Structure 1
Amino acid sequence: MNLKIRFLLVSALILFACYVNAQNLNGNVDTLTVQVSDLALHSVLSTPDEENTPVALIIPGSGPTDLNGNQSQMNNNSLKYLSEALVKNKIATLRFDKRGVAKSAYSTLKEDSLTIEIYANDVVAIIEYLQAHGYENIYVIGHSEGSLIGLIALQDINVSGFISVGGAGNSADVILKKQLEPKLPKTYFESVVQIIDSLKNGHLVKNVPAQLGALFRPSVQPYLISWFKYNPVSLIRNLKTRALVVQGSKDIQIDTNEGQLLAGEREQVDYVEIENMNHIFKTIEGGMQENIESYTDPSLEVNERFIEAIVNFINTENP
């Protein structure tokens, strides 16, 4: 064989071996769709090389957040990095684009038909998919609003454990008031309170001030009504499995009081507070500006103590 050709073949084999090893180090990533009631959800299943590992289903937070934790103007890869870290610790993950978001978007979507129960039913369907494909040790990780969605879903189906990250203890109407009060003039905030209270009582609001139209537009009000009626503390008390509540000390969206409230005093709920971690799992050593900038900085990895807390919880056998 020509010496030059032999050298090229050997080089190619070395490169291929390096590629395979790199793939093994990062686990195996499979793109798939999970059929739910009326559509197929775009999903990614990431698995370590080891067999019979636990699997963590990761539920994104509110808004058009995709399976990587990103939105169109907010790229930080929070959920992608969480998944990769868990796979390195021999825990499989399944991430998915919520219905209507990214590759799970569909042309017939009507905003006024969405409720939080629909999102919860999608989660139940994904858990059933994992069960049907041989996974027995399933954990649900709900981030932000995904925590509440996970809690609602787990009222109807059992898993090995539940993990809330940046999830609220109060109902969403209370959280929304808390978030909006310092940001709005007093007159606007008084109007907000009236609208929220009406929705909390199950009543649509016809006359919404133009300045508040984006937040309380008619098409989103049915979702808000469905969202406001759930009490996370009551839901977590009803779980038939153990749970972990993780909260970051630098979370500017859901404060530590909310995490402590959610964990409460239930024996099967652990609470871990991560120093200097913000809402998207990033480590923030400085102040508000650094915190805000992290939401659009995909170069920042997720907090290591955060990963340790989740891995330790999953690897601890049920009592």
Structure 2
Amino acid sequence: MKKFGITFCLLISILLLIAGCSKKKEAMPETNAEEVSSLEEIEGVWNGSIQVPNQPLPIILTFEKTSGTISIPAQGLNDYALTSTTLNDTDIFLEMNIQGQRITFDGKVAQDSITGTFTQQGQSFPFELTKGSPEEVVETGDVVQVDVENGTMDGLLEMPQGEGPFPLMVIIAGSGPTDHDGNSQLLPGKNNSLKMIAEGLAAEGVASIRYDKRGIGKNMGLAGKEQDLRFNHYIDDAAAWVQFAKTDARFSKVGIIGHSEGSLIGMVAAEQAIADAFISIAGAGRPIDQVLMEQLDEQLPANLLEESNTILNALKQGEQVQTISPELQSLFRPSVQPYMISWLHYDPAEQLKKLQVPVLLVNGNRDIQVPVKDAELLHDAKKDAELLIVDKMNHILKESPEDREGNIATYGNPDLPLAHGLMDGIVGFLKDL
């Protein structure tokens, strides 16, 4: 387990470097292919992933007759030119040179699949591609927009049938590249959990707005520079959606549902925008440094664990750290430290105490990412909040088996319904407002 954690950090560190380059294409040197052969036989879009242990990284390769590009949605990398593309019969070799880093794909073509080895920084992982575009989710709802810092943000409005006005809930996704439907670009497949919540609410007469956070999906253009991002940006964006809905006569009351990291964002935004209700689903009950150290304890050796603790203590004091071990760069690189400092400012339990509106706290007893104890900590902080522990529910809001492997397998299965009792609990809470 610990070896995997370090390996994955190294891989993501390089991919984040690639993403950083992709945002300023005008400043990049020419990337004309050094070696090109005809790619006519494999022209088109190829979808697949790099098989990092327990954490496949989705990628998309697009080939034209004499050139190729790569997209890594999880890192915001779109159509980045490959430096070298060589196809010799069934042998294929692809190369990327990014700021002195050499990254290669060495594989075999067999009908509609390409398999082989991905290599970077001396480490190698299998990759597999299948011809064809990634599966698209059929979206429901109407596109709505709100003005936020640096531009305009898109969202999806899901309306019930019938005559309003209706109560409305703003749905906030979790951390990382998790989109408005609850799907993470770091994981293969889709679970559509937040999409299902929106549809379930609409069926019960409750409208909703769900959206990609800035820097994700439809709102990728709002990312800006990594060093300029703050946790408060996410809070202000959520508050903007609440204020947007409050001005619309179609809606009677406006509340927030925050999932995972979206819980903390939502509870602060609920106070800021004076929302009418707040629902936390799988939200942490402790400051992020405590949660992070608990997770790192399962992955890092003692020396890196101690360094992580030292870095976090400095960040909590508002002090940036310049010297960081290579294995920890993906977590604590200097450009992300201002964001972490702003995040560490918030204690979920203390923030929840400030809310003077009805609160529902939800967790699943098979959540392997945010345990039930976090919901209990939040409940201890606000005794008048309702507490709902959903039996057999995991982090992506589906029923799962007890074993870890079976639990994770549900993350990429959109056919699984939401866990029994989740929507009943949410709808019952909202009807009592």
Give TM class, smaller chain: 0.7 to 0.9
| Cα 1:107–1:42 shift into 2, 3 Å | closer
Q: Which amino acid aligns with 1:48?
A: P
Q: Which amino acid aligns with 2:182?
A: G
Deviations 1:132-182 (A, max 9, x none): 112231120001110100111123221221000000111111111111111
SS at match of 1:138: strand
Aligned residue in 1 for 2:224:
109
Offset, 1:265: 5.5
Offset, 1:73: 3.6
Aligned residue in 1 for 2:141:
29
- Contact 1:195–1:205 (Cα < 8 Å) also in 2: yes
Aligned residue in 2 for 1:82:
197
Aligned residue in 2 for 1:39:
151
Compute the TM-score of the two structures, normalised by the length of structure 1: 0.88
Offset, 1:71: 2.2
Offset, 1:308: 0.8
- Contact 2:196–2:418 (Cα < 8 Å) also in 1: yes
- Contact 2:257–2:279 (Cα < 8 Å) also in 1: yes
- Contact 1:117–1:152 (Cα < 8 Å) also in 2: no
Q: 1:58 aligns with which of 161, 168, 171?
A: 171
Cα distance between partner residues in 2 of 1:295 and 1:218: 32
Deviations 1:191-240 (A, max 9, x none): 11111111111111101100111111111111111111211111111112
Is 1:279 aligned to residue 395 of structure 2? yes
SS at match of 2:166: coil
Offset, 1:81: 1.1
Cα distance between partner residues in 1 of 2:200 and 2:286: 30
- Contact 1:148–1:167 (Cα < 8 Å) also in 2: yes
- Contact 1:241–1:268 (Cα < 8 Å) also in 2: no
Q: Percent of pairs identical after alignment? A: 35
Cα distance between partner residues in 2 of 1:286 and 1:163: 26
Q: Which amino acid aligns with 1:56?
A: M
Aligned pairs for 1:136-175 (under 5 A) are 136-175=252-291
Cα distance between partner residues in 1 of 2:222 and 2:358: 39
Cα distance between partner residues in 2 of 1:156 and 1:58: 16
Q: CA RMSD in A?
A: 1.6
- Contact 2:361–2:375 (Cα < 8 Å) also in 1: yes
SS at match of 1:136: strand
Q: Which amino acid aligns with 2:199?
A: E
Aligned residue in 2 for 1:14:
none
Aligned length: 291
Could you say which structure has the higher helix fraction? 1
Offset, 1:267: 4.1
Q: 1:248 aligns with which of 364, 368, 387?
A: 364
Q: 1:118 aligns with which of 228, 233, 240?
A: 233
Deviations 1:86-105 (A, max 9, x none): 11111111101111110101
Unpaired runs of 5+ residues, structure 2, are 1-139
Cα distance between partner residues in 1 of 2:185 and 2:364: 24
Q: Which has the higher contact order (CA 8 A, sep 6+)?
A: 1
Aligned residue in 1 for 2:40:
none
Cα distance between partner residues in 1 of 2:276 and 2:238: 15
Is 1:48 aligned to residue 163 of structure 2? no
SS at match of 1:304: coil
Cα distance between partner residues in 1 of 2:367 and 2:212: 24
Cα distance between partner residues in 2 of 1:157 and 1:212: 36
Cα distance between partner residues in 1 of 2:387 and 2:284: 13
Cα distance between partner residues in 1 of 2:186 and 2:271: 34
Aligned pairs for 1:10-29 (under 5 A) are 29=141
- Contact 1:276–1:283 (Cα < 8 Å) also in 2: yes
Aligned pairs for 1:149-298 (under 5 A) are 149-264=265-380, 266-298=382-414
Deviations 1:46-66 (A, max 9, x none): 011122121111001111111
Instruction: Answer with 274-283 or 104-113: which moved more.
Output: 104-113
- Contact 2:161–2:202 (Cα < 8 Å) also in 1: no
Cα distance between partner residues in 1 of 2:298 and 2:418: 29
| Cα 1:112–1:95 shift into 2, 3 Å | same
Cα distance between partner residues in 2 of 1:266 and 1:107: 35
SS at match of 1:170: coil
Instruction: Answer with 250-259 or 35-44: which moved more.
Output: 35-44
